[in-house]
Amino acid sequence: MCLPLSCYPFVSLSPGCQDETQKMHFLQSIRTICRATRHQGSSQGLDVFCHGDELAGSIMVLLKEEPRDHLRTAVRQQAMLAISALSSMEMVPEHQKMRLLNACFSSVFCLPPKEDMQGLDTSLYHETLHAMDCMLQTLVLSSPASRLSQELQTILQMLLTFTKSQSAAARERAVRRIGMLIYLMARYSSLEAWRPFGREEDCPACYRGFHIPKLGQLLGHLILLSSCKDKDTSCAALDALYLLLIFLLQQRCSAWPEDSPQHQSVWGAAGTSCLSLHSTGDLTKAFGKYLKPGEKTDVILTAIEAMTDTSTSDKEGASSMLDEAMKDPDSWLMDVPKIMGSIHKNLEHICTEPARHSIDSLVLLLTSQYPSEVVISLLKYSKLDDSAALAVWKVLFSLLQPLEKVLRELHREYWKQRIHMLFGTMTEDSSILCLAIIAASNLPSETFAAAARFWESLRDESLEVISLVLQGLITLSQSPEMARKMKVLLEDILKTLQYVSEDIQMKALLVFRNVLGHMTREEASPIALKLAVKLLPLFSNASSQLRESSLRLFGDIMQMVVWRHRRQMRKNVQRGLLPLLFHMSDQTQSVAKASREALLSAAEFLEQKQLKYLTQTEQAWRIGECLLVQDRNRVEDYLWQSLLYLKDAQATVREEAVRFTGLAARHLRDQSAERLREVCDALKPLQEDIEPSICSLAAQTMLIVGSPGKRPASGWTRALCCWPCKAREK
């Protein structure tokens, strides 16, 4: 005969108790009470006993006190058995039950690998894990139908959290528990759980026809784990996937009798379909036929999120999953808003180049298949001042075909917004306006000219938005027809060169190159004059790419000037001669080559045969003397221009500037002491230059410039030009 609950006063645990016997007695007492309650058929007093936080809190404290580096006693095992007993009585509140479960996971999963635990009784280790499995089984099988889905989802989410642990042992143990739960549902698909004690109003769970909650998310994680480098975790994930496939196949044929040929073939089909697959792409494809559209979307979202993980294998596996899904977009990529939202949320945390490439490919494919949904999603999820959204827009604006589709959709959205504005329901978004206006590319040239005056609205936008618009113009200008229409934009694009942004300046130059190439000389000549002035400061930009692009464009536009503009262009070309000479010594070879070619074009434009010859033969040391002799009226201008380059970031350019400064000073007509002192003052800081050759050359030049006397003989001039080279030879 069992005693009533009031006869079990020993169910308590003293705070800070260190006695293992007392702990075991406490846990065993809980099991005894639960058995007695079931035997008596009455829960009187048990609900009060379980509903307080004291009991659950005591078990959690007990688990937390267990050492993490070894199994000392069977306390963990007994704790899980006690929780199982309480769970079967359906008296533990849901929130306490999940807190206890998480405490069990933390206590057991974080133990070292079995082989690393000193003095371990192997049977105790296995018994502890077995007790955990029994506890999980009891929790699931005891769940009434109304709560089964939510409880299972909570347990799986807790287990998936541990699959991201730094400990390989913790990951493997968590995956094994996931596999056990899937096995439970796959093996007992027709099992009805027993009716929970004292719950007459709720029916037990029936597993026939039951769907795993968040199946796509679970499947995505398991596929990723199957490709991880840790062999034990990978094998555990493959085992779980095998069981999951069985479960899905059973769901598919749940209407067939168990003794039917179709039903009997399920196990064999599962083995053939899953065990032979190893790559994440193959697994994704194999499971795809059993998933609902929403579950497939969850797989995609899991793959995108995994690309932010620090694990390399996760990123590689995620890319393979996306690659496989992109082979069948109509089946896998149906929920575009959710997918675009996930991309926007995670993009800034995806750092590796292969992962970014996969995301870019996904965005481009979605745009190709569902341009309207992509554009609406982007406009809905973020504004254009959002860096993640800008990154997506940049991908779409980089290729002509997707850009054209996006702009058509933007144009539609823009006019929809304009209609709404008439009724006062929306305010105009200038960012959308800027992008939508470009979509007027299909308009006639005269209409496009009027519509394209959107730069005023860009004035208050961020540099990122301006860069994005320019990227769109670069892509559009690849089309000859569009490039010809875009000539009306060049005056406005010219203004963007004033921004202190190498990215914007570079993109503006690319637009000019594309558009000017499709214009007649008569059309190009006026803008070429203005562009030449803007290009000169870019020759010394810190970006070698921008230096090279500006030099090449400068060389090209000289050929675009018509006769009536040549005199004005001649002044711009003469201002560029000295920078071109200096950058023939640029440390970046492609820039030096571009500078030499531009100087050659300048010599042809100015019709200076000697300059052309010296440039062709690359006699840089004689070109400076040539400039000073052939245009004596510009000597002073050349001198002050060269002083600016004494501070250039490149040592090779500074050296050329010092050499030319010495030559120009000796050719100066007004060689007053004050004027020569200004030159020496400019050279003085170079005596402490980090380059020894420049220090020596600056000191030598100051000595010569500061000496009284007349203009030197040509022999001295040649010595000054060649001195650094001879010094280096020594």
Quick check: 406 and 394 in contact, CB under 8 A?
no
User: Does the structure show a pLDDT above 60 at 167?
Assistant: yes
Percent of the chain at pLDDT > 70 equals: 77
Residue bearing the bigger pLDDT, 392 or 489 = 392
Q: Which of the four pLDDT bands, split at 50, 70 and 90, describes residue 482?
A: confident
85-94, 289-298, 572-581, 659-668: which has the minimum mean pLDDT?
85-94
pLDDT in the model for residue 434: 59
Alpha-helical (H) ranges within 477-501 are 480-485, 490-495
pLDDT in the model for residue 723: 44
Q: What are the C-alpha distances in Å from 544 to residues 403, 536, 620?
A: 29, 14, 21
Is the torsion defined by CA of 367, 370, 372, 376 positive or negative?
Answer: negative
Mean pLDDT, rounded, for 299-320? 85
Mean pLDDT, rounded, for 301-318? 83
DSSP helix/strand/coil, 435: helix
Q: Which of the four pLDDT bands, split at 50, 70 and 90, describes residue 418?
A: low
Residue bearing the bigger pLDDT, 363 or 704 = 363
User: Does the structure show a pLDDT above 90 at 657?
Assistant: yes
User: Does the structure show a pLDDT above 80 at 254?
Assistant: no
Residue bearing the bigger pLDDT, 467 or 12 = 467
Mean pLDDT, rounded, for 34-40? 72
Nearest to 410 by CA among 386, 384, 385, 388: 384
pLDDT in the model for residue 171: 93
| Backbone torsions φ then ψ of 380, nearest 5 degrees | -80, -40
pLDDT in the model for residue 436: 63
Tokens of 647: 């501070």
User: Does the structure show a pLDDT above 90 at 535?
Assistant: yes
Q: Which of the four pLDDT bands, split at 50, 70 and 90, describes residue 45?
A: low
The per-residue pLDDT for range 86-106, each reduced to its tens digit, is 776 666 667 777 888 888 888
pLDDT in the model for residue 274: 55
User: Does the structure show a pLDDT above 50 at 198?
Assistant: no
pLDDT in the model for residue 420: 54
Quick check: 392 and 471 in contact, CB under 8 A?
no
User: Does the structure show a pLDDT above 90 at 595?
Assistant: yes
Q: Which of the four pLDDT bands, split at 50, 70 and 90, describes residue 63?
A: confident
The per-residue pLDDT for range 550-573, each reduced to its tens digit, is 999 999 999 999 999 999 999 999
Q: Which of the four pLDDT bands, split at 50, 70 and 90, describes residue 378?
A: confident
Mean pLDDT, rounded, for 676-689? 92
User: Does the structure show a pLDDT above 60 at 173?
Assistant: yes
Mean pLDDT, rounded, for 119-124? 72
Mean pLDDT, rounded, for 598-609? 96
- DSSP label at residue 479: S
The per-residue pLDDT for range 428-452, each reduced to its tens digit, is 455 555 566 666 555 555 556 555 5
302-316, 326-340, 384-398, 405-419: which has the minimum mean pLDDT?
405-419
| Backbone torsions φ then ψ of 192, nearest 5 degrees | -105, 125
The span from the CA of 266 to the CA of 256, in Å, is 11
User: Does the structure show a pLDDT above 80 at 459?
Assistant: no
22-26, 265-269, 331-335, 674-678: which has the minimum mean pLDDT?
265-269
The per-residue pLDDT for range 607-616, each reduced to its tens digit, is 999 999 999 9
Nearest to 511 by CA among 402, 438, 433, 590: 438
pLDDT in the model for residue 666: 86
Cα angle value 489/492/496 (rounded, 5°): 125
pLDDT in the model for residue 25: 81
User: Does the structure show a pLDDT above 90 at 148?
Assistant: no
User: Does the structure show a pLDDT above 50 at 424?
Assistant: no
Mean pLDDT, rounded, for 440-465? 62
Q: What is the mean pLDDT of the chain?
A: 81
pLDDT in the model for residue 548: 97
| Backbone torsions φ then ψ of 144, nearest 5 degrees | -70, 160
pLDDT in the model for residue 263: 56
Alpha-helical (H) ranges within 439-565 are 445-451, 455-458, 463-476, 480-485, 490-495, 502-516, 521-535, 544-557
Tokens of 45: 């007093």
The per-residue pLDDT for range 5-34, each reduced to its tens digit, is 344 444 455 555 557 787 888 888 877 877
Cα angle value 233/236/239 (rounded, 5°): 150
User: Does the structure show a pLDDT above 60 at 208?
Assistant: no
Q: Residues for the chain: how many in total? A: 730
Residue bearing the bigger pLDDT, 191 or 66 = 66
For residue 619, the number of C-alpha atoms closer than 13 Å in the C-beta half-sphere is: 12
User: Does the structure show a pLDDT above 50 at 229?
Assistant: yes
| Residue showing tokens 């060689």 | 671
pLDDT in the model for residue 433: 56
Q: Which of the four pLDDT bands, split at 50, 70 and 90, describes residue 56?
A: confident
- DSSP label at residue 112: P
Residue 175: Cβ within 10 Å count: 29
Q: What are the C-alpha distances in Å from 317 to residues 97, 303, 314, 354, 618?
A: 35, 8, 5, 11, 55
182-210: b (≥16 Cβ within 10 Å) or e: bbbbbeebeeebeebbeeeeeebbebeeb
SS (H, E, C) 116-140: HCCCCCHHHHHHHHHHHHHHHHHHH
Cα angle value 647/550/460 (rounded, 5°): 90
| Residue showing tokens 């009470």 | 33
The per-residue pLDDT for range 695-729, each reduced to its tens digit, is 999 999 999 887 755 444 444 454 445 444 434 43
pLDDT in the model for residue 710: 47
Q: Is residue 47 packed enough to be buried (19+ CB in 10 Å), middle (13-18) or exposed (0-12)?
A: middle
